[in-house]
Amino acid sequence: MKHFFIGLLCLALALFACSSDQSSSIKPTPENPTAPTPVEENCLIKAISFATSKYDFNYDSNQILDQINETYGSTTNTYYVNHISTDSIDIGLVQSDGSKGTPIISAKYQNGDLIQVKRFYSATRYNYFIFEYSADKITVKQDYVSGSTYQNIAYADYFLDENGNAIATKIYKYDTSSASNYTLFNERENTYDIGNNPWKGIIYPTFLCQNLPNAMFFSQNNMITEIDKTRGATSNYSYEFDANNLTIKGLNKHPYSVCNESNTLTEYYTYTNCYNY
Protein backbone atom coordinates (compact mmCIF):
# COMPACT_ATOMS: atom_id res chain seq x y z
CA MET A 1 0.00 0.00 0.00
CA LYS A 2 2.85 2.37 0.88
CA HIS A 3 4.49 1.94 -2.52
CA PHE A 4 1.19 2.55 -4.27
CA PHE A 5 0.72 5.94 -2.68
CA ILE A 6 4.33 6.99 -3.18
CA GLY A 7 3.64 6.34 -6.86
CA LEU A 8 0.98 9.03 -6.74
CA LEU A 9 3.53 11.77 -6.14
CA CYS A 10 4.02 12.92 -9.74
CA LEU A 11 2.61 16.44 -9.87
CA ALA A 12 -0.71 17.13 -11.48
CA LEU A 13 -0.83 20.58 -13.06
CA ALA A 14 -3.32 22.74 -10.99
CA LEU A 15 -8.32 32.96 -10.87
CA PHE A 16 -9.28 32.86 -7.63
CA ALA A 17 -7.71 34.13 -4.46
CA CYS A 18 -8.33 31.47 -1.82
CA SER A 19 -11.69 32.21 -0.29
CA SER A 20 -14.55 30.25 1.19
CA ASP A 21 -16.63 30.61 -1.98
CA GLN A 22 -13.84 29.61 -4.36
CA SER A 23 -14.36 32.86 -6.25
CA SER A 24 -12.88 36.34 -6.12
CA SER A 25 -12.33 39.21 -8.47
CA ILE A 26 -9.51 39.25 -11.00
CA LYS A 27 -7.36 42.24 -11.69
CA PRO A 28 -6.37 42.19 -15.36
CA THR A 29 -2.73 43.05 -15.97
CA PRO A 30 -1.35 44.53 -19.20
CA GLU A 31 0.79 42.29 -21.36
CA ASN A 32 3.08 45.26 -21.89
CA PRO A 33 4.51 46.31 -18.49
CA THR A 34 4.67 49.94 -19.60
CA ALA A 35 1.02 50.06 -20.67
CA PRO A 36 -1.54 51.65 -18.33
CA THR A 37 -3.31 49.24 -16.02
CA PRO A 38 -7.03 48.93 -16.86
CA VAL A 39 -9.64 49.83 -14.28
CA GLU A 40 -10.09 46.89 -11.95
CA GLU A 41 -13.40 45.10 -12.33
CA ASN A 42 -14.91 42.17 -10.49
CA CYS A 43 -14.21 39.52 -13.11
CA LEU A 44 -15.11 35.92 -12.33
CA ILE A 45 -14.10 32.84 -14.28
CA LYS A 46 -17.04 31.60 -16.37
CA ALA A 47 -15.58 28.68 -18.29
CA ILE A 48 -12.36 26.79 -18.92
CA SER A 49 -12.52 24.65 -22.02
CA PHE A 50 -10.37 22.28 -24.06
CA ALA A 51 -10.88 20.58 -27.42
CA THR A 52 -13.27 17.92 -26.10
CA SER A 53 -14.08 19.02 -22.55
CA LYS A 54 -15.21 22.05 -20.58
CA TYR A 55 -15.80 23.34 -17.06
CA ASP A 56 -18.61 25.89 -16.60
CA PHE A 57 -18.67 27.83 -13.32
CA ASN A 58 -22.10 29.14 -12.30
CA TYR A 59 -22.80 31.76 -9.64
CA ASP A 60 -25.77 32.82 -7.57
CA SER A 61 -27.21 36.35 -7.40
CA ASN A 62 -24.46 37.32 -4.93
CA GLN A 63 -21.76 36.17 -7.38
CA ILE A 64 -20.87 33.20 -5.18
CA LEU A 65 -20.01 29.95 -6.95
CA ASP A 66 -22.80 27.42 -6.48
CA GLN A 67 -22.51 24.94 -9.37
CA ILE A 68 -19.95 23.49 -11.79
CA ASN A 69 -20.87 21.75 -15.04
CA GLU A 70 -18.29 19.37 -16.43
CA THR A 71 -18.66 18.34 -20.08
CA TYR A 72 -16.61 15.65 -21.75
CA GLY A 73 -17.63 14.87 -25.31
CA SER A 74 -21.41 14.50 -25.24
CA THR A 75 -21.61 13.79 -21.50
CA THR A 76 -22.26 16.51 -18.91
CA ASN A 77 -22.06 16.10 -15.15
CA THR A 78 -23.25 18.73 -12.69
CA TYR A 79 -21.51 19.32 -9.37
CA TYR A 80 -23.02 21.27 -6.51
CA VAL A 81 -20.99 23.66 -4.36
CA ASN A 82 -22.49 23.59 -0.89
CA HIS A 83 -21.47 26.43 1.44
CA ILE A 84 -21.67 24.80 4.86
CA SER A 85 -20.62 27.98 6.66
CA THR A 86 -18.58 31.07 5.93
CA ASP A 87 -15.40 29.02 5.99
CA SER A 88 -16.28 25.58 4.54
CA ILE A 89 -17.55 24.12 1.28
CA ASP A 90 -18.46 20.69 -0.07
CA ILE A 91 -18.39 19.76 -3.76
CA GLY A 92 -20.22 16.69 -5.04
CA LEU A 93 -22.13 15.19 -7.93
CA VAL A 94 -25.78 16.05 -8.55
CA GLN A 95 -27.55 12.73 -9.13
CA SER A 96 -29.91 12.01 -12.04
CA ASP A 97 -32.92 12.50 -9.73
CA GLY A 98 -31.63 15.92 -8.68
CA SER A 99 -30.44 14.84 -5.25
CA LYS A 100 -26.97 15.68 -3.98
CA GLY A 101 -24.49 12.85 -3.78
CA THR A 102 -21.93 12.52 -1.02
CA PRO A 103 -19.12 15.08 -1.30
CA ILE A 104 -16.06 14.19 -3.34
CA ILE A 105 -14.15 17.27 -2.16
CA SER A 106 -14.45 19.31 1.02
CA ALA A 107 -12.46 22.44 1.85
CA LYS A 108 -11.96 24.67 4.87
CA TYR A 109 -10.66 28.24 5.03
CA GLN A 110 -9.35 30.55 7.71
CA ASN A 111 -9.24 34.32 7.22
CA GLY A 112 -9.61 33.72 3.49
CA ASP A 113 -6.75 31.20 3.26
CA LEU A 114 -7.32 27.59 2.27
CA ILE A 115 -6.21 25.43 5.21
CA GLN A 116 -7.63 21.97 4.48
CA VAL A 117 -8.85 19.82 1.57
CA LYS A 118 -10.22 16.29 1.67
CA ARG A 119 -10.50 14.39 -1.60
CA PHE A 120 -12.95 11.56 -0.85
CA TYR A 121 -12.99 8.10 -2.45
CA SER A 122 -15.55 6.91 0.11
CA ALA A 123 -16.86 8.27 3.41
CA THR A 124 -13.87 6.82 5.29
CA ARG A 125 -11.18 6.87 2.61
CA TYR A 126 -9.65 10.13 1.39
CA ASN A 127 -6.54 12.13 0.60
CA TYR A 128 -5.99 14.77 3.25
CA PHE A 129 -4.19 18.05 2.46
CA ILE A 130 -3.14 20.57 5.14
CA PHE A 131 -1.93 24.08 4.21
CA GLU A 132 0.41 26.30 6.24
CA TYR A 133 1.40 29.88 5.36
CA SER A 134 4.34 32.17 6.08
CA ALA A 135 5.49 35.43 4.52
CA ASP A 136 7.21 33.85 1.52
CA LYS A 137 6.30 30.16 1.65
CA ILE A 138 3.28 27.85 1.55
CA THR A 139 3.67 24.31 2.85
CA VAL A 140 1.17 21.60 1.88
CA LYS A 141 1.18 18.24 3.59
CA GLN A 142 -0.53 15.24 1.97
CA ASP A 143 -1.67 12.22 3.96
CA TYR A 144 -4.00 9.32 3.22
CA VAL A 145 -6.78 8.16 5.54
CA SER A 146 -8.55 4.81 5.28
CA GLY A 147 -10.78 4.12 8.26
CA SER A 148 -8.51 4.16 11.29
CA THR A 149 -5.34 3.90 9.15
CA TYR A 150 -3.37 7.11 8.64
CA GLN A 151 -0.58 7.08 6.04
CA ASN A 152 1.92 9.90 5.53
CA ILE A 153 2.49 10.47 1.81
CA ALA A 154 4.41 13.68 1.09
CA TYR A 155 4.69 17.40 1.61
CA ALA A 156 5.75 20.33 -0.57
CA ASP A 157 7.20 23.79 0.06
CA TYR A 158 6.12 26.49 -2.41
CA PHE A 159 8.41 29.54 -2.31
CA LEU A 160 6.75 32.85 -3.28
CA ASP A 161 8.19 35.98 -4.87
CA GLU A 162 7.05 39.56 -4.20
CA ASN A 163 4.33 39.21 -6.88
CA GLY A 164 2.65 36.26 -5.18
CA ASN A 165 3.98 33.64 -7.59
CA ALA A 166 5.41 30.27 -6.56
CA ILE A 167 8.84 30.48 -8.18
CA ALA A 168 10.23 27.28 -6.66
CA THR A 169 8.79 24.03 -5.34
CA LYS A 170 10.41 21.26 -3.31
CA ILE A 171 8.50 18.02 -2.84
CA TYR A 172 9.40 15.52 -0.13
CA LYS A 173 8.11 11.93 0.02
CA TYR A 174 7.59 9.96 3.20
CA ASP A 175 10.64 7.80 3.88
CA THR A 176 11.13 5.94 7.16
CA SER A 177 14.82 5.43 6.38
CA SER A 178 15.38 9.18 6.66
CA ALA A 179 16.09 10.80 10.02
CA SER A 180 13.37 13.37 9.30
CA ASN A 181 11.02 10.70 7.81
CA TYR A 182 11.00 12.59 4.49
CA THR A 183 13.34 12.62 1.49
CA LEU A 184 13.54 15.23 -1.30
CA PHE A 185 11.65 13.75 -4.25
CA ASN A 186 11.32 16.55 -6.80
CA GLU A 187 12.51 20.14 -7.23
CA ARG A 188 11.14 22.71 -9.69
CA GLU A 189 11.64 26.35 -10.64
CA ASN A 190 9.09 28.54 -12.44
CA THR A 191 8.86 31.89 -14.20
CA TYR A 192 5.72 33.93 -14.88
CA ASP A 193 4.25 36.63 -17.08
CA ILE A 194 2.14 39.48 -15.65
CA GLY A 195 -1.27 38.28 -16.89
CA ASN A 196 -4.01 36.95 -14.59
CA ASN A 197 -3.84 33.23 -13.87
CA PRO A 198 -7.32 31.72 -14.53
CA TRP A 199 -6.55 28.60 -12.45
CA LYS A 200 -5.50 30.26 -9.20
CA GLY A 201 -7.24 28.70 -6.21
CA ILE A 202 -9.68 26.54 -8.15
CA ILE A 203 -10.46 23.55 -5.92
CA TYR A 204 -12.35 21.57 -8.55
CA PRO A 205 -11.00 19.99 -10.71
CA THR A 206 -7.50 20.58 -9.28
CA PHE A 207 -7.92 18.17 -6.37
CA LEU A 208 -9.49 15.38 -8.41
CA CYS A 209 -5.91 14.30 -9.03
CA GLN A 210 -4.30 12.30 -6.24
CA ASN A 211 -1.31 14.59 -5.92
CA LEU A 212 0.00 17.77 -4.40
CA PRO A 213 -1.14 20.80 -6.44
CA ASN A 214 1.05 22.38 -9.08
CA ALA A 215 2.59 25.76 -8.23
CA MET A 216 0.07 27.50 -10.51
CA PHE A 217 -2.66 26.80 -7.95
CA PHE A 218 -1.06 29.41 -5.65
CA SER A 219 0.24 31.91 -8.22
CA GLN A 220 -1.22 35.27 -9.25
CA ASN A 221 0.16 35.18 -12.80
CA ASN A 222 0.52 32.73 -15.69
CA MET A 223 3.40 30.28 -15.56
CA ILE A 224 5.54 30.56 -18.69
CA THR A 225 8.48 28.29 -17.80
CA GLU A 226 8.55 25.21 -15.58
CA ILE A 227 11.95 23.65 -14.97
CA ASP A 228 11.95 20.18 -13.46
CA LYS A 229 15.43 20.10 -11.94
CA THR A 230 15.09 16.48 -10.85
CA ARG A 231 14.26 15.13 -14.31
CA GLY A 232 16.20 17.75 -16.26
CA ALA A 233 13.11 18.75 -18.25
CA THR A 234 11.71 22.18 -19.14
CA SER A 235 8.15 23.04 -20.20
CA ASN A 236 7.31 26.36 -21.87
CA TYR A 237 3.82 27.88 -22.03
CA SER A 238 2.39 30.91 -23.81
CA TYR A 239 -0.87 32.85 -23.56
CA GLU A 240 -3.18 35.15 -25.46
CA PHE A 241 -5.09 38.12 -24.05
CA ASP A 242 -8.20 40.10 -24.92
CA ALA A 243 -8.51 43.88 -25.31
CA ASN A 244 -8.87 44.19 -21.53
CA ASN A 245 -5.65 42.22 -20.98
CA LEU A 246 -7.50 39.26 -19.50
CA THR A 247 -5.96 35.84 -20.21
CA ILE A 248 -8.19 34.06 -22.74
CA LYS A 249 -5.99 31.27 -24.11
CA GLY A 250 -3.18 29.04 -22.82
CA LEU A 251 -1.06 27.10 -25.30
CA ASN A 252 0.46 23.65 -24.74
CA LYS A 253 -0.72 23.52 -21.15
CA HIS A 254 -0.70 20.43 -18.95
CA PRO A 255 -4.43 20.24 -18.15
CA TYR A 256 -5.46 19.95 -14.51
CA SER A 257 -8.33 17.70 -15.51
CA VAL A 258 -5.91 15.03 -16.70
CA CYS A 259 -3.65 13.55 -14.01
CA ASN A 260 -0.86 12.86 -16.48
CA GLU A 261 1.84 15.38 -17.32
CA SER A 262 2.60 13.82 -20.71
CA ASN A 263 -0.62 15.35 -22.05
CA THR A 264 -0.70 18.94 -23.27
CA LEU A 265 -3.71 20.85 -24.54
CA THR A 266 -4.77 24.34 -25.56
CA GLU A 267 -7.00 25.92 -22.92
CA TYR A 268 -9.62 28.66 -23.42
CA TYR A 269 -10.88 30.96 -20.66
CA THR A 270 -14.01 33.12 -20.50
CA TYR A 271 -15.24 35.45 -17.77
CA THR A 272 -18.37 36.96 -16.30
CA ASN A 273 -19.35 39.97 -14.17
CA CYS A 274 -16.98 42.43 -15.86
CA TYR A 275 -16.35 44.42 -19.06
CA ASN A 276 -18.47 43.00 -21.88
CA TYR A 277 -18.62 39.49 -20.42
Report the pLDDT averaged over residues 254-260: 54
182 part of a folded domain:
yes
> What pLDDT does 52 receive?
85
d(CA 157, CA 252): 26
Residue 42: pLDDT band (50, 70, 90) is confident
**CATH number for position 82:** 2.40.160.150
Domain that holds residue 102: 2-272
pLDDT above 90 (res 4): no
277 part of a folded domain:
no
Report the pLDDT averaged over residues 24-49: 59
% of the chain surpassing 70 pLDDT: 82
Q: For the chain, how many structural domains are there in total?
A: 1
> What pLDDT does 74 receive?
92
202 part of a folded domain:
yes
60 part of a folded domain:
yes
pLDDT above 50 (res 1): no
233 part of a folded domain:
yes
For the entire predicted model, the pTM comes to 0.84
Question: pLDDT tens digits for 204-221?
Answer: 988 987 789 999 999 999
The pairs formed by 224-231 with CB atoms below 8 angstroms and a separation of 24 or more are 224/191, 224/192, 224/193, 225/190, 225/191, 226/188, 226/189, 226/190, 227/188, 227/189, 227/190, 228/186, 228/187, 228/188, 229/187, 229/188, 229/189, 230/185, 230/186, 230/187, 230/188, 231/186
191 part of a folded domain:
yes
Question: pLDDT tens digits for 141-195?
Answer: 999 999 999 999 999 999 999 999 999 999 999 999 999 999 999 999 999 999 9
Residue 257: pLDDT band (50, 70, 90) is very low
> What pLDDT does 22 receive?
54
Sort residue 98 into left (φ over 0), alpha (ψ -120 to 50) or beta: left
Task: Sort strands 100-110 and 221-228 into parallel, antiparallel or unpaired.
Answer: unpaired
85 part of a folded domain:
yes
Among 28-42, 96-110, 133-147, the minimum mean pLDDT is found in 28-42
148 part of a folded domain:
yes
> What pLDDT does 210 receive?
73
On average, the pLDDT of the chain sits at: 85
